[in-house]
Amino acid sequence: MSLHIPFDNSYARLPDGFYSRLDPTPVKAPHLLAFNEALAGVLGISRGEAVELARVFSGNEVPEGAAPLAQLYAGHQFGSFNPQLGDGRAILLGEVVGTDGARRDIQLKGAGPTPYSRMGDGRAWMGPVLREYLVSEAMHAMGIPTTRALAAVATGEPVLRESPLPGAVLTRVASSHIRVGTFQIFAARQDRAALQALFEHTRDRHYPEAAGPADLLRDVAERQARLVVQWLSVGFIHGVMNTDNCTLSGETIDYGPCAFLDAYHPMRVYSSIDRQGRYAYGNQPDILVWNMAQLATALVPLMEDQEAAVEEFSEIIHALPRIIRREWLRLFRAKIGLATEEEGDEALIGDLLNRMAGNQADFTNTFRRLGGTRARDEFTDPAAFDQWAEGWRARLEREAAPQELMDRTNPAFIPRNHRLEEMIEAAVGGDMAPFHRLMEVLARPYADQPEAADLQRPPAPGEEVRATFCGT
């Protein structure tokens, strides 16, 4: 075998209670759909033939040095605590330390049933696999911390959802898969030794400077705050911000029913299972604070003086909305071209967003086109934009290089929901060209690419995707 992956598996060295060891379940006829050469290079993975890559990244062949396992975790799903979840369809092959010195997990998603599959089949179908591949890579290209995609392999087997669909396996790369829910499971079980081991592992891996749990909490909360504000700044709605989908590393994880805003509305929801709008676009900061409070609760048992810990952790959580607001202002200032700070900026931004919401203005195109003459066309009543722009232009006179700032803050290209649907339909029919074209354009989201103007167009009335699905 020519394919070599330089594994070094630190999670597998944690005690047995953290996971179940098992191999992926082989599939019938693996066929490589996509492979991320650039990422493979960073990971130090030697080049392999497509057939070999398909065998390894479908789980049919366990590469040398791997220590396959399913991780255990719990989590709050839509606010209610589930004391045991775990990888129900994902298997961690192991970790590698890349050529950049960073440690990363290599995980197969859709690799067959595990002890944590509950009623599920442990599989994924091609739609969500290619969707996650594209969206996670697009997020990375936008500069937003995220898990990444190394490979997508068709299994040659159907998976049964409402109808039979072609199966696939995604190889996901993450700086770790440690979740708020990973802490929650050991806290709920009152297993202080496990909690301590997990704390040390997480600290060594992500926050080597943290002196104790309070520092870790503060650092995670700050990273997550910056992350969620970055989501808001590109119109991203995660869709399932359960505590098991919230990483300690501060990376975006679990692209299920996520979506990007077309027309802006602060309460927009796409996920078909989010009936109450808990994870609506504008609720994401509040949910993050709630999730961080759950992490704080799970960390309390680590502290000698628990009463003092509750007080200290509460302060950290209560400081979070201020941090989020500060970050939000910084990014949204940049979105309208402001590098300096003035008293009226927040009101100016708020006024634009209100007008956008009232005029079904496309989120991405409005910001991208602010400096030109076309932003007004995004509004059902262009005069609503003109009125706002008057005050904004006066404010811009006190800025040195607003256009340049806006161009590198406002993406021209996002993975639009209707384009993702189109891409999936084509791929299921055997045509990967739309996938590859989207990958190529989304790799440079801040560059004007006139030949891809069709990918900037919001959905026409008949094309609009109203709901997204978990795809499990």
Give me the residues that bind ligand AMP (CB under 6 A), please. 85-89, 116-117, 120-123, 240, 245, 254, 256, 470, 472
Nearest distance in Å: CB 129, ligand AMP? 12
Q: Kindly state the helix (H) or strand (E) to which residue 231 belongs, with its residue range.
A: helix 213-233
Nearest distance in Å: CB 60, Mg ion? 24
Residue 120 binds which of ligand AMP, Mg ion, none (CB < 5-8 A, kind-dependent): ligand AMP
340-355 burial code (b ≥16 CB/10 A, e <16) = eeeeebeebbeebbeb
CB 386 within 8 A of CB 374: no
Residue 117 binds which of ligand AMP, Mg ion, none (CB < 5-8 A, kind-dependent): ligand AMP
Which one, 249 or 365, has the nearer CB to Mg ion? 249
Which one, 256 or 411, has the nearer CB to ligand AMP? 256
Residue 262 binds which of ligand AMP, Mg ion, none (CB < 5-8 A, kind-dependent): none
237-272 burial code (b ≥16 CB/10 A, e <16) = bbbbbbbbbbbbbbbbbbbbbbbbbbbbbeebbbbe
* Structure-block tokens of residue 240: 């399932």
254 is catalytic: no
Residue 86 binds which of Mg ion, ligand AMP, none (CB < 5-8 A, kind-dependent): ligand AMP
In the block, which residue shows the tokens 């806006």?
A: 406
Nearest distance in Å: CB 254, Mg ion? 4
In the block, which residue shows the tokens 């209610």?
A: 80
Three-state SS at 88: coil
Q: Tell me the residue number closest to ligand AMP, measured at CB.
A: 120
CB atoms within 10 A of CB 472: 16
Which one, 76 or 203, has the nearer CB to Mg ion? 76
Nearest distance in Å: CB 88, ligand AMP? 2
Which one, 86 or 145, has the nearer CB to ligand AMP? 86
- What beta strand segments (E) does 49-163 contain? 69-71, 75-77, 80-82, 90-97, 103-109, 124-125, 148-160
CB 94 within 8 A of CB 21: no
Nearest distance in Å: CB 90, ligand AMP? 6
Interface with Mg ion (CB under 5 A):
245, 254
Listed residue (395, 373, 370, 368) closest to 457, CA to CA: 368
Nearest distance in Å: CB 121, ligand AMP? 5
Which one, 85 or 299, has the nearer CB to ligand AMP? 85
Which one, 61 or 254, has the nearer CB to Mg ion? 254
Listed residue (421, 90, 364) closest to 254, CA to CA: 90
Residue 237 binds which of Mg ion, ligand AMP, none (CB < 5-8 A, kind-dependent): none
Residue 449 binds which of ligand AMP, Mg ion, none (CB < 5-8 A, kind-dependent): none
Nearest distance in Å: CB 76, ligand AMP? 12
Q: Tell me the residue number closest to Mg ion, measured at CB.
A: 254
CB 424 within 8 A of CB 432: no
Which one, 189 or 325, has the nearer CB to ligand AMP? 189
CB atoms within 10 A of CB 431: 12
User: Checking phi first, is residue 11 left (phi over 0); if not, alpha (psi -120 to 50) or beta?
Assistant: alpha
- The separation between CA 110 and the C-alpha centre of its own chain, rounded to angstroms, equals 18
Listed residue (269, 242, 240) closest to 256, CA to CA: 240
Set 87, 105, 244, 274: catalytic member? 244
Backbone φ and ψ for 409, nearest 5 degrees, come out as -105, -35
Residue 87 binds which of ligand AMP, Mg ion, none (CB < 5-8 A, kind-dependent): ligand AMP
Residues designated catalytic: 244
